[in-house]
Amino acid sequence: MPIDFRNTNTVWASVLAETLQRLGLTTAVICPGSRSAPLTIAFAQNKKIETIPILDERSASFFALGTAQKSYLPTALICTSGTAAANFYPAIIEARESRIPLLIFTADRPPELRDCHAGQAIDQVKIYGNYPNWQAELAIPSASTGMLDYLRQTIVYAWERSQFPTPGPVHLNIPFRDPLVPVPDIAVEVLETQFNPEEFFAGLEPIFAGESSTPPSPPLLRGGEESTMQQWQKCDRGIIIAGVAQPQLVEKYCSAIAQISKSLNWPVLAEGLSPVRNYAQLNPHLISTYDLILRNRELADKLTPEIAIQIGDLPTSKELRNWLDKTQPKRYIIDPSHHNFDPLHGQTIHLRTSVENLATILTLVPPLNKGGLGGVLTTATTNISPQIPPLNKGESTPVPPLSKGGLGGVLTSPSNEYLQLWRNTEIQVRQTIDQKISAINNIIEPKVSWLLSQILPPETPIFIANSMPVRDVEFFWKPNNLEIKPFFNRGANGIDGTLSTALGVAHRNQSSIMLTGDLTLLHDTNGFLIKNKFVGHLTIILINNNGGGIFEMLPVAKFDPPFEDFFATPQDINFAQLCATYGVEHEVIEDWEHFKQKLISLPNSGIRVLEVQTDRRADAKWRQDNLSKFAKDS
């Protein structure tokens, strides 16, 4: 029997664990502690749930975040009472902002041991403020069938609320009275004779969010005399912004964006953290250099859009945000969640639907005749730029071919000069970047992202740290057909828990990559303690420029002191010695050929650090000298 009838606490905790297992829980991350002993024992005894012990609560919470990012399923996170729970807070904030499902179970002392200096007792009720999707404190465990019914249904509701209507964290605070260990209690013997597990758990089946089926909101279907869709079709100066995204069905997501782009004949401005850049052949009008293009003010003015379809979060690019704020196109934001995705507070309409639903609906709208020129359904490619040969998987190109392998008809408009300007500029800027960076022989940080987009094994998961790495990826990541899977913590954009999250993504996954700076890695070195329980492989590409490189790009860099000590904050760490402490493989990259050889194929197990030593000030100067020139030199 899956229920442990040794005492009231063991019954309570094992019903909780068994209910979650039947609902679909596969992973629980558990931190050590006494008050949480009933939960720890119950989860450890449930053979269908992988239970992972992690010492540091902050590291544990971010590891759980990573496993949930990868699986799109809730991960359970368990700790004892006191400040242990407080250490979960940063990951819970990230889970809320990134819409990642987490189930947090914090053990607590019973009410009679609170506010009386009983020790390891703090106020844990609603400790995470407004960040959980839902939060509650469970009743004191009780050995009665009615209370077990209450427990089961509360857990079902918690599981549902972690996924619906928008994924995110759910917190249950669980008080336990002694005994916390499974010593026998004759009081539960009667309950065991009355308990029928088949009847008790009848009707419990896995509940998963899966693919969003949220219906389109009303503005999508009507808009005065003509529908929103027809307004889009009439517009020759429209753009699609493929922002930061971690979709569950990646190819379907990228195909949907491609379908919308082809139907409207609009370019797709794809963020480096979007998988769209790694499925280049699907998207005929892919623009990857928009940040650099928009630094050319003359071009930026010529490219002013009338309508913008924003899919999910805005890209990282400050240039793009400023341009949208200045030009004020009518903006439609596509995302099924209830979140507000408009930090610019423009004339936006949130369409609460998925991009896949939108693409399907758009195919049902009859095309408009644009002045006798456009609006013809054809499978021919548009003659607007030099033709690019089709790609094999793994090759990269500045602009993907317009149609490939059965993607169907394309609504073309030979007169669309706006699209032609975007595409021609993309080709020219991409060629300028490639020529410039390929000629660099010395170790320089911007070349790392550019190379990674071309040499990683197909479908490699890569966790990209915040600060400078995400920006270099946006600037320099080349369109490719490698189907690389980007992961990141761009909800709150912090550096805490980065290593632990990456290990969570890589756990029981394909051999994975983490791209990070030195300060971000140092902020979470306790993540290396997960090594003995980690299954899989993670290669950490460590950009060591001895400090915060992103601050070199900001105005504060001109004010030293206090810049170097209080902003750049160099730590002067010997990473070879640090890695040796944790038993992690370490190697310094000597040149670009060495870098390629280490990444063309990846090991199957373990953790290794490839340290790329760069000059922080020289890297910043290179960006400052070149970013604004790429679009001018093209």
416-438 pLDDT tens trace: 899 999 999 999 999 999 999 99
Nearest to 41 by CA among 24, 77, 17: 17
Helix pair angle (355-363, 250-264), 10° resolution: 40
302-340 pLDDT tens trace: 999 999 999 999 999 999 999 999 999 999 999 998 889
242-265 pLDDT tens trace: 999 999 999 999 999 999 999 999
Rg (CA), the chain: 27
Cα–Cα dist 49/570, whole Å? 42
Q: Which helix (H) or strand (E) holds 577?
A: helix 575-582
Enumerate the β-bridge partners of residue 609.
Answer: 540, 586
What pLDDT does 214 receive? 55
Q: Which residue has the higher pLDDT, 239 or 222?
A: 239
Cα–Cα dist 233/227, whole Å? 10
pLDDT of 381 strictly over 50: no
| Three-state SS sequence of 483-546 | CCEEECCCCCCCCCCHHHHHHHHHCCCCCEEEEEEHHHHHCCHHHHHHHHHCCCEEEEEEEECC
How sure is the predictor about 634, in pLDDT bands with cuts at 50, 70 and 90? Answer: low
Cα–Cα dist 399/389, whole Å? 10
Q: What is the mean pLDDT of residues 386-409?
A: 38
What pLDDT does 154 receive? 95
What pLDDT does 384 receive? 31
DSSP code per residue over 279-306:
SGGG-TTEE--HHHHTTSHHHHHHT--S
Cα–Cα dist 525/351, whole Å? 41
The pTM is what?
A: 0.90
What pLDDT does 364 receive? 81
Strand order in the sheet with 102-108: 50-53, 27-30, 75-79, 102-108, 169-175, 134-137
How sure is the predictor about 525, in pLDDT bands with cuts at 50, 70 and 90? Answer: very high
Cα–Cα dist 279/398, whole Å? 13
Share of the chain above pLDDT 70, in %: 89
What pLDDT does 84 receive? 97
Strand order in the sheet with 348-351: 286-287, 268-270, 238-242, 307-311, 330-334, 348-351
How sure is the predictor about 131, in pLDDT bands with cuts at 50, 70 and 90? Answer: very high
What pLDDT does 212 receive? 47
pLDDT of 219 strictly over 80: no
